[in-house]
Structure 1
């Protein structure tokens, strides 16, 4: 599977359609929560768009991976976000990781998108992660998907 191209424009200040590497505010539903029958994420968190695919019906379908402050059980299951990238995204100084073992799949914008305050704007976009970080995340997700070692939770569709 080939890697999706990143947007030429790095600006994400409006509710435009997300592109791979964008970081959004979203009410993420963990796979273990979905397995217990839960339908709503417990809290909003940053997520990284891995795939954004426009369908023939005009809808955009997203696959996103979560960002968490909980260190991974297995080091290869996540990528720590560098301090400089966290600052660029407006995240706090606490250590955090992009998990690559599970995804949420949904139609943009979906009811689980959560706007954040960005100056005078209310937007779901934190910004984007740099290309090298995205490349590593994307490759890890694809490798796990090919090995059937990634959990995908289908949300609003």
Structure 2
């Protein structure tokens, strides 16, 4: 299976994403594999720390915390036609490559493709806003460490 040596920001991978409520319930394994976008990849010694944001079909409770993907972006990534959101309010952190990477269905790689630069910038800006609100105590922080 093809796994990039070093992931880059905006890369969309297949990943066993663990939601915060699953982690709070004591789960260590995700219920489902899904596409997730690499938000940041930080080289650290001979490993890389990665933070990913999930792509889901479930509508968000807070529309400001998610970005609806356009049909063109979904087609470019090879995703299905159902409505999908890129969530900025739920994140996972892990050491690359990590045991939760999964092959894209029908392909010998974990990579779907890359987010368009403008969409990646939107995601990054939403995450910064949400993190600022969490530091100020206005919203809970929703990152799950998977290491």
Q: TM-score, length-normalised on structure 2?
A: 0.91
Aligned match of 1:25: 14
Once residues 108 and 118 of structure 2 are traced to their aligned partners in structure 1, the CA distance between those partners, rounded to angstroms, is 28
Aligned match of 1:74: 62
Instruction: Name the count of aligned residue pairs.
Output: 141
Aligned match of 1:135: 121
Unaligned runs of 5+ in 2: none
Once residues 132 and 20 of structure 1 are traced to their aligned partners in structure 2, the CA distance between those partners, rounded to angstroms, is 12
For the aligned residue pairs, the C-alpha RMSD in angstroms reads 1.3
Shift in Å at residue 15 of structure 1?
Answer: 2.4
Shift in Å at residue 117 of structure 1?
Answer: 4.5
Once residues 143 and 104 of structure 2 are traced to their aligned partners in structure 1, the CA distance between those partners, rounded to angstroms, is 25
Aligned match of 1:122: 108
Alignment match of 1:65 (pick from 49, 53, 68)? 53
* Alignment of structure 1 residues 15-54 onto 2, 5 Å: 15-54=4-43
Task: Report runs of 4+ in structure 1 exceeding 2 Å deviation.
Answer: 13-16
Q: Bigger shift: 14-23 or 43-52?
A: 14-23
Q: TM-score, length-normalised on structure 1?
A: 0.86
Once residues 6 and 104 of structure 2 are traced to their aligned partners in structure 1, the CA distance between those partners, rounded to angstroms, is 16
Q: Helix, strand or coil for the counterpart of 1:98?
A: strand
Unaligned runs of 5+ in 1: 1-12
Aligned match of 1:8: none
